[in-house]
C-alpha cells in the first residue's frame, strides 16, 4: 500500500486526555513545582498556582487544542488557515519544541542512568556521571530510543497506546512512593509543614510570576504540543471536559510529588542531625544528588523505592518528550510527504546530535568547568531560559490572540457553542481569551525579560545577550516563513502516508 494517504488520530477521548496529560506531567511537576511551592509560602502558593491554572493555563489550553482541532493539521497550517500572514506563529510553535528536545533528552538520559543504578542497588553520583561524556551520550541515546519507538508507532498505535499504559503506571508508582515516604516516621511531619503550611507573607509579585510561569511550563503550553495533539481529535472530544481533566491531573501529580520529596528529605535530615534547608532542594541537584542520598540512607528497601521513583521520572520524561518530538515529526511528514518512520528517525538523529554538546556543556558546568558556555551559562540553562522565559510565553500569547482576535471572538463563540458549550459560558470564555489572558501572558513575558536583563536590579549583559538571541530566533523564523512557507503547501493530517 505505498503512498496511501491515511488520516491519523486518537482512537478515543480518554486516549487523547492521557496523552495530553502525559505531555503535561514531566520533570516540571517533579522538580519545579514542589520547590517553588516550598519557597513561596506553601499552601498559599498552591492557591495562587491553582488560580493561574484555572484562569490562564486552562484557557490557553482550550485555545491551543481548539486551534489544532479546527485545522486538523500541523501548527503552521493551523495558523495559516486563519490568515496566511500569521502562519509564522505556527513556525515558532514548531521550532520551540525542537529546541527543548535538545536539552530535555539529556535530562532524560540522566533519569535512565539513575534508574539503572538503583535497579542494581547502587547510588548514582551526579558529578561523576555528568563528567563522563561517553556515559551521558549513551544514556541520552537510550532515552531517545524509548521515545523514538513510541513516536514511530504513530498517534493511535504509538503515542495513545503508550500513554494508556504509562500514565496509570506513573500514578501508581507515585502513590506507592508517597505512601512509603509518609510512613518513614521521624521528620515526615516537618517535611509536610515545610511544604504546605500557608504563609501569605511570602506571596509577592515574583511568587505570582513564578506561579504563572510554572503553570505554563507544567501544562506544556506555548510549545506546540497541545495544538498538535488537538489536531488528532475531532468533535467527539469535549474541549471543556478534556482540558479540565488534563489540568486537574497535572496539578494533582505536582502536589503529590512534593508529598513524596519533602517528607523524605526531612526524614533524612533529621536522622543525620543536619538542617534540611542545608540540602540542595531544587532542580537537578534535588533529583540527582539529594534524593539518591536520601533513598540510600533508608537501606535496601530504599533502593527499591528509589527505583520506583526513577522509573516514574523516566515515564514522566518520555511521555513529555514524545509530545514535542511529535510536533517536529508531524510537520516533516506533512510538509515533505514522507513516511512517519523516516521523519521520526530524522528528528531523533538531529536531536541526538545536538544533545551531545548540551550534555558536554552541562557535565563541564557540574564539574566546575566552563566548556561550551553561552552568555555565561551552560547550554542547558541557556536553551531552557531562551524557551521558558521568552519563546514559550510568546507562542502561548499568539494562540490566544489568534483565537480571540483573528478568528474573532464571535466566530470562536459560535464554534465553541457547536461544541456543546452553553452560550453564556462561551461568551465569558471568549472575553477572557480576548482581553484577560493575553494581557496576563504579556505581563509574564515583560517581567520575565526584565528579570533576565536586570537580575536583582543590576544590568546583566549576558541576560541581554539571551534576550536578543531569542528575538533573533523569532526574526529568523519570520523570514523563513515568508520566504519558504507562506505560499507553499504545508499539509494537513490527511497527508500522512502509510
Footprint of ligand PFF (CB under 6 A)? 23-24, 26-29, 100, 104, 217-218, 220, 320-321, 323-324
DSSP string for 92-120: HHHHHHHHHHHHHHHHHHHHHHHHHHHHT
Q: CA of 240: how far to CAs of 65, 175, 420, 426, in Å?
A: 10, 27, 9, 10
Element (H, E) at 375: none
Report angle CA 230, 233, 238 to the nearest 5 degrees: 90
Q: How far is the CB of 190 from ligand PFF (least distance, A)?
A: 27
Distance from C-alpha of 343 to C-alpha of 339, rounded to nearest angstrom? 6
Query: Do 244 and 421 form a contact (C-beta atoms < 8 A)?
Result: no
Q: Which is nearer to ligand PFF, 66 or 104 (CB)?
A: 104
Q: Which is nearer to ligand PFF, 20 or 440 (CB)?
A: 20
Distance from C-alpha of 259 to C-alpha of 192, rounded to nearest angstrom? 7
Residue count of the chain, please give it.
498
Which three cell numbers, joined as nine digits, stand for 493? 493530517
CB proximity list for 221: less than 8 A, separation 6 or greater: 57, 60, 61, 64, 392, 396, 399
Q: How far is the CB of 214 from ligand PFF (least distance, A)?
A: 9
> Coil, strand or helix: which one is 204?
coil
Q: Which is nearer to ligand PFF, 54 or 371 (CB)?
A: 54
Query: Do 27 and 320 form a contact (C-beta atoms < 8 A)?
Result: yes
Q: How far is the CB of 220 from ligand PFF (least distance, A)?
A: 4
Q: Residue 399's closest CA among 237, 240, 228?
A: 228
Q: Residue 25's closest CA among 323, 343, 233?
A: 323
Q: Which is nearer to ligand PFF, 24 or 159 (CB)?
A: 24
Q: Which is nearer to ligand PFF, 28 or 359 (CB)?
A: 28
Q: How far is the CB of 281 from ligand PFF (least distance, A)?
A: 18
Q: CA of 90: how far to CAs of 245, 257, 277, 384, 474, in Å?
A: 26, 33, 43, 20, 11
Q: Which is nearer to ligand PFF, 162 or 426 (CB)?
A: 162
Q: Which is nearer to ligand PFF, 72 or 351 (CB)?
A: 351
Q: Which is nearer to ligand PFF, 325 or 413 (CB)?
A: 325
Q: Which is nearer to ligand PFF, 324 or 412 (CB)?
A: 324
Query: Do 281 and 275 form a contact (C-beta atoms < 8 A)?
Result: no
Q: How far is the CB of 22 from ligand PFF (least distance, A)?
A: 9
Q: How far is the CB of 311 from ligand PFF (least distance, A)?
A: 17
Q: How far is the CB of 325 from ligand PFF (least distance, A)?
A: 8
Distance from C-alpha of 50 to C-alpha of 106, rounded to nearest angstrom? 30
Q: How far is the CB of 124 from ligand PFF (least distance, A)?
A: 21
Q: Residue 231's closest CA among 71, 403, 58, 80?
A: 71
Q: Which is nearer to ligand PFF, 323 or 470 (CB)?
A: 323
Which three cell numbers, joined as nine digits, stand for 388? 521558558
Q: Which is nearer to ligand PFF, 78 or 323 (CB)?
A: 323
Q: CA of 162: how far to CAs of 23, 150, 241, 375, in Å?
A: 12, 7, 22, 39
Distance from C-alpha of 26 to C-alpha of 315, rounded to nearest angstrom? 8
Q: Which is nearer to ligand PFF, 211 or 321 (CB)?
A: 321
Q: How far is the CB of 216 from ligand PFF (least distance, A)?
A: 9
DSSP category for residue 436:
I
H helices present in 337-378, as ranges: 340-366
**How many CB atoms sit inside 10 A of residue 5's CB?**
11
Q: How far is the CB of 47 from ligand PFF (least distance, A)?
A: 20
Q: How far is the CB of 100 from ligand PFF (least distance, A)?
A: 5
Q: How far is the CB of 487 from ligand PFF (least distance, A)?
A: 31
Amino acid at each position: 500500500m505505498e503512498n496511501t494517504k491515511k488520516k491519523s488520530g486518537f482512537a478515543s477521548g480518554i486516549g487523547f486526555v492521557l496523552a495530553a496529560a502525559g505531555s503535561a506531567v514531566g520533570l516540571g511537576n517533579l522538580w519545579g513545582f514542589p520547590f517553588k511551592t516550598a519557597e513561596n509560602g506553601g499552601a498559599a502558593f498552591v492557591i495562587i498556582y491553582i488560580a493561574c491554572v484555572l484562569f490562564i493555563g486552562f484557557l490557553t489550553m482550550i485555545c491551543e487544542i481548539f486551534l489544532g482541532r479546527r485545522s486538523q493539521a500541523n501548527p503552521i497550517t493551523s495558523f495559516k488557515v486563519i490568515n496566511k500572514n500569521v502562519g509564522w506563529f505556527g513556525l515558532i510553535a514548531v521550532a520551540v519544541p525542537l529546541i527543548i528536545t535538545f536539552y530535555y533528552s539529556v535530562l532524560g538520559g540522566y533519569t535512565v542512568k539513575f534508574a539503572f543504578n538503583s535497579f542494581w542497588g547502587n547510588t548514582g553520583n551526579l558529578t561523576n556521571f555528568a563528567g563522563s561524556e561517553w556515559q551521558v551520550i549513551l544514556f541520552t541515546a537510550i532515552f531517545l530510543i524509548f521515545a523514538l519507538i513510541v513516536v514511530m508507532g504513530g498517534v493511535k498505535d504509538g503515542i495513545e497506546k503508550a500513554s494508556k499504559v504509562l500514565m496509570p503506571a506513573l500514578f501508581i508508582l507515585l502513590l506507592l512512593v508517597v505512601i512509603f515516604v509518609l510512613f518513614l516516621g521521624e521528620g515526615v511531619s516537618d517535611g509536610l509543614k515545610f511544604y504546605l503550611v500557608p504563609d501569605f507573607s511570602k506571596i509577592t509579585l515574583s511568587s505570582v510570576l513564578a506561579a504563572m510561569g510554572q503553570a505554563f511550563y507544567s501544562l506544556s503550553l506555548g510549545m506546540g504540543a497541545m495544538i498538535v495533539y488537538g489536531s488528532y481529535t475531532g468533535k467527539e472530544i469535549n474541549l471543556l471536559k478534556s482540558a479540565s481533566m488534563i489540568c486537574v491531573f497535572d496539578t494533582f501529580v505536582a502536589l503529590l510529588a512534593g508529598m513524596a520529596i519533602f517528607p523524605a528529605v526531612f526524614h533524612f535530615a533529621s536522622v543525620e542531625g543536619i538542617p534540611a534547608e542545608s540540602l540542595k532542594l531544587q532542580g537537578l541537584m534535588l533529583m540527582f544528588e539529594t534524593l539518591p542520598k536520601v533513598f540510600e540512607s533508608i537501606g535496601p528497601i530504599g533502593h527499591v523505592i528509589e527505583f520506583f521513583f526513577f522509573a516514574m521520572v523516566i515515564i514522566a520524561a518520555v511521555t513529555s518528550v514524545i509530545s514535542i518530538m511529535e510536533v517536529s515529526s508531524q510537520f516533516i511528514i506533512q510538509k515533505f510527504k514522507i513516511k512517519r518512520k523516516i521523519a521520526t528517525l530524522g528528528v531523533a538523529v538531529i536531536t541526538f546530535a545536538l544533545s551531545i554538546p548540551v550534555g558536554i556543556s552541562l557535565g563541564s558546568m557540574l564539574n566546575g568547568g566552563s566548556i561550551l558556555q553561552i552568555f555565561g551559562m551552560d547550554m542547558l540553562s541557556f536553551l531552557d531560559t531562551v524557551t521558558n522565559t521568552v519563546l514559550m510565553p510568546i507562542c502561548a500569547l499568539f494562540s490566544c490572540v489568534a483565537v480571540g482576535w483573528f478568528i474573532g471572538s464571535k466566530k470562536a463563540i459560535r464554534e465553541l457553542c457547536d461544541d456543546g458549550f452553553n452560550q453564556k459560558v462561551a461568551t465569558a470564555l471568549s472575553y477572557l481569551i480576548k482581553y484577560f489572558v493575553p494581557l496576563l501572558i504579556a505581563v509574564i513575558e515583560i517581567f520575565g525579560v526584565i528579570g533576565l536583563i536586570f537580575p536583582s536590579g543590576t544590568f546583566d549583559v549576558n541576560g541581554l545577550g539571551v534576550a536578543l538571541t531569542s528575538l533573533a530566533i523569532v526574526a529568523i523564523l519570520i523570514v523563513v516563513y515568508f520566504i519558504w512557507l507562506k505560499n507553499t503547501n504545508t499539509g494537513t493530517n490527511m497527508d500522512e502516508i502509510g
